[in-house]
A and B are shown apart, each in its own frame.
Chain A
Amino acid sequence: MKRLILLLVAQTLLSVPVFSQEVKVPDAEQFVGKPQGQPVSGALLDQRTNEIGGLLRCPVCQGMSIADSPSEMAVNMKHQVRELIARGYTQEQILRYFERSYGQFVLLKPKFQGVNTLVWILPILALILGAAVIFSFMNRHPVDEPPATTADEDPYLAEVRKLTGKQS
């Protein structure tokens, strides 16, 4: 009888679909390792979320950060940033996590490497060049007056001077 009950229980358990497997979303730890900072909460968490959110581009907007965009995508990303900060992930780890998925496109402040170097260098070069142009104009020698013509060179002028009584 006992065996029959056990058999019935086992059969019942086996016939029920097993959905015990947990829902698992990709986690930052898989890509950037364990948190390297301290868990953050309260007002500081809000502040850090806005700071880091301001460094990440909203992928469905035109040049807006996820901190500024009201789009659902940006809101989801911001929630994830918040969650990661709360767990103790550093700014560098969080940016690296998003960069792994979206590439450098997601960083509003481009990295100083490759072609991006030009983005940093060209404005500085343009500034130096502009300063050089202004400097060269400011230090330009005043236009020299034409040298006084001597009487030997111009007999007509010598005659005029003689008549007017002026000497060079």
Chain B
Amino acid sequence: MNRVVLIAGILITVALVVILSAGLGKDPQHIESPLIGKQAPDFALKAVGTGETIDLTQFRGKPLVVNFWATWCRPCYEEHPVLVSNAQMMQGQVQFLGVVFQDKEEKIQQFLNERGTAYPTLVDQAGKTAIAYGVGGVPETFFLNKDGKVVAKFEGPIDPESLQQNVRKAMAQ
């Protein structure tokens, strides 16, 4: 009896240690996106400045970079020039879209006036688009292929290398 109890105890302890140690290196805020490989949720949102309604489906046939951000998010300031310069560089080949949530339109406009832009910035209503994309915090960037399928997601301020690597992935699929 004691031997059985000992073996079972060791097995349970080993299983627990394996499970807990597997989670040790993980970022607790990281969310593995279940949207990868699936059709991106469609939306049509109002653009800051022009008031025009931009529909995601109007860009079918072209890879898309959808960046969720906000003016209250410090890392978003860091990545903004990376997105703008790449959008200018890839103009005609890849469409960039900014989606701002939990923010005020005046603040967004002021941000864009001060820092410039090269693509439409849309206002998310009640954060519903962010929720549908499983956004856990800003900035987060989604890469869609020409058919509107999500091929990659990047959490945090994006650097030029990661941006180009993911754009290549979106162009290839």
Contact = CB atoms under 8 A, between A and B. Distances in A.
Interface of A: 17, 19, 21-26, 30-31, 59-60, 62, 72-73, 76-77, 79-80, 98-103, 105-106, 115, 118, 122, 125-126, 129, 132-133, 136
A102 B34 contact: yes
Given A129-B5, A129-B12, A101 B34 contact: yes
A101 B131 contact: yes
Nearest to A28: B132
A23 B33 CA distance: 25
B41 A30 contact: yes
B96 to A, nearest CB: 20
Q: Is the interface of A mostly helix, strand, loop or mixed?
A: helix
Contacts of B44: 21-24
A98 B132 CA distance: 8
A43 to B, nearest CB: 23
A77 B130 CA distance: 10
B32 A21 contact: no
Nearest to A77: B131
Contacts of A132: 1, 4-5, 8
B5 A76 contact: no
Contacts of A73: 102, 127, 130, 136-137
Contacts of A21: 44, 53, 55
Interface in B38-52: 41-46, 51-52
A25 B5 contact: no
B129 A22 contact: no
B136 A60 contact: yes
Contacts of B116: none
A103 B12 CA distance: 27
B52 A122 contact: no
A25 B15 contact: no
A96 to B, nearest CB: 11
Interface string B144-167: 000000000000000000000000
B113 interface: no
Contacts of A125: 8, 12
A24 B42 contact: yes
